[in-house]
Amino acid sequence: MNRLRILIAALLILFVSSASFAEEYKFEVSEIEKKPYHVGGYLEFRPNLFVLDKNAALYKLNFFNRNEGDTIEDYNGRLWLEGSYEKGIVGLFLKANLALGYSYQGWNDQTRIYEGYMSLKPSSSLTFDFGKRVFQWGKGYAWNPVAFVDRPKDPDDPELPREGYVVATADYIKSFNGPLKTFSVTPVIFPVYHHVNDAFGEINHLNFAGRVYFLLYDTDIDFLFLAGESKTTRFGFDFSRNITTNLEIHGEFAFINNQKKQVADSTGKVSESQFDAKSYLLGIRYLTSWDMTCILEYYHNAPGYSHSEMKDFFSFIDKGFDQFLSTGNTKLLRKAGSLNKGNYGVISPMKDYLYLRISQKEPFNILYFTPALTGIVNLDRSFSISPELLYEGIKNWEFRLKGFAIVGSKGTEFGEKQNDYRVELRVRYYF
């Protein structure tokens, strides 16, 4: 636990020093001059408390040979660094994540570059990028079915940073007078080889992707595609439009050619099918006159599992657990664990979801305070609900307390998760 104490002590030192050495702001001309470089980031401490559900299938799968009691905790630290240097037509950009965590499984650490690329800008309308990048394609807040070259978001916390992929890309943008105000095209070369994007799909292939963007009649429209051998061909479009100054609508549609899907029945027998998948998302964002923001989205995930398919998988875990209790044999549980590392264990593995987030800025005139409530509903009739409190009233500091309640009957996605409740505290110091 020494490393954990060091992490906590570092946070306390930062807090005391920021409070002790605060001074009256003085205007300096040099502060408004653009510098060629930027360095920043944050230090984060994030403990979690989990209240376990010992009757759930995923508890049985993950804890079948352990007795951790009714609750478990983990402690996570993160040092997020970002920097840039721009001189003439050349820019260098870096975002790095250094993480240290402690859980019932012991210590773990990870150092990873999330973005690191060189940018060449020979003119105001043309840019070339080479290196590791995040594209953030799509208009959805919680999900993005058209984000063909991005890692998926976590709908529990969609604004978390995501790791990019190594690519070569360009961006050409042109402005006009008339109904078409802006046009841009973004071609992407996407290699997948050993140690280069090898988690993306089948290796030893060079893939191509792209986006064409229009700002037409005050509507943002994108057409996107991915082609190559690492994944099957896919294309889609998205849109976003402000109906009024306070109401925005958005949507996405993705078509995936020859999508493959593996399904396990209640005995563990695996079958594979292949079909053309059509996923889509529709959403609205509304801001009230009293600064309440509401985001509502419906997501249809065509490659996802139906209620009966997911229920069969959970039944297979139960059979494996019963076998372990009676004979000590873990063969079925090991097979279920392998399946859970695949598509059964991805974020949002099923077909139909609703997302609702309501946040209120500075209620009752409490400055720098934002409470929020988030609900994620799987239409198999299970859901999670997450209240949170965010406070940013101390310079360079952010405090967030968030709870998760998971509700669902036997055989549903949320009902079979390993915990019933979770409480998370996140403390960040920005520099």
Q: What is the pLDDT of residues 318-333, one digit of tens each?
A: 999 999 999 999 999 9
pLDDT of residue 48: 98
User: Tell me, what's the pLDDT at 22?
Assistant: 38
Query: What was the pLDDT predicted at 162?
Result: 96
Q: What is the pLDDT of residues 233-272, one digit of tens each?
A: 999 999 999 999 999 999 999 999 999 999 999 999 999 9
Q: Any residues with CB less than 8 A from the CB of 281 and at least 6 apart, and which?
A: 138, 140, 143, 144, 145, 250, 251, 252, 297, 298, 299, 300
> Is the pLDDT confidence value at 12 over 50?
no
Tokens representing 257 are 């050619």
Residue 186, beta-bridge partner list: 211
Residues 396, 430 contacting (CB under 8 angstroms):
yes
pTM for the full predicted model? 0.89
Amino acid at the residue 411: G
**In the prediction, which pLDDT does 32 show?**
59
What are the tens digits of pLDDT across the range 131-165? 999 999 999 999 999 999 999 999 999 999 999 99
**Has residue 4 got a pLDDT over 90?**
no
Per-residue pLDDT, averaged over 172-192, amounts to 97
Q: Are 94 and 116 in contact (CB under 8 A)?
A: yes
Secondary structure of residue 177 in the 3-state scheme: coil
Position 19 scores a pLDDT of 39
Output the pLDDT for position 34. Answer: 74
Tokens 């989205």 sit at which residue?
297
| Mean predicted confidence (pLDDT) in 111-120 | 98
End-to-end CA distance of the chain: 26
Give the model's pLDDT for residue 16. Answer: 40
Task: Report the C-alpha gap between 176 and 288 in whole angstroms.
Answer: 33
Partners of 21 in beta bridges: none
Mean pLDDT value across residues 411-431? 97
pLDDT in tens, 344-366: 999 999 999 999 999 999 999 99
Nearest alpha carbon to residue 423 among 407, 398, 406: 406
Higher pLDDT, 277 or 4: 277
Q: What is the pLDDT of residues 29-81, one digit of tens each?
A: 455 567 899 999 999 999 999 999 999 999 999 999 998 999 999 999 999 99
Q: Which element (helix H / strand E) includes 422? A: strand 419-430
> How large is the average pLDDT for residues 106-114?
96
Are 377 and 399 a contacting pair, CB within 8 Å?
no
Domains located in the chain, CATH noted: 2-22+33-430 (2.40.160.10)
The average confidence (pLDDT) of the chain is 93
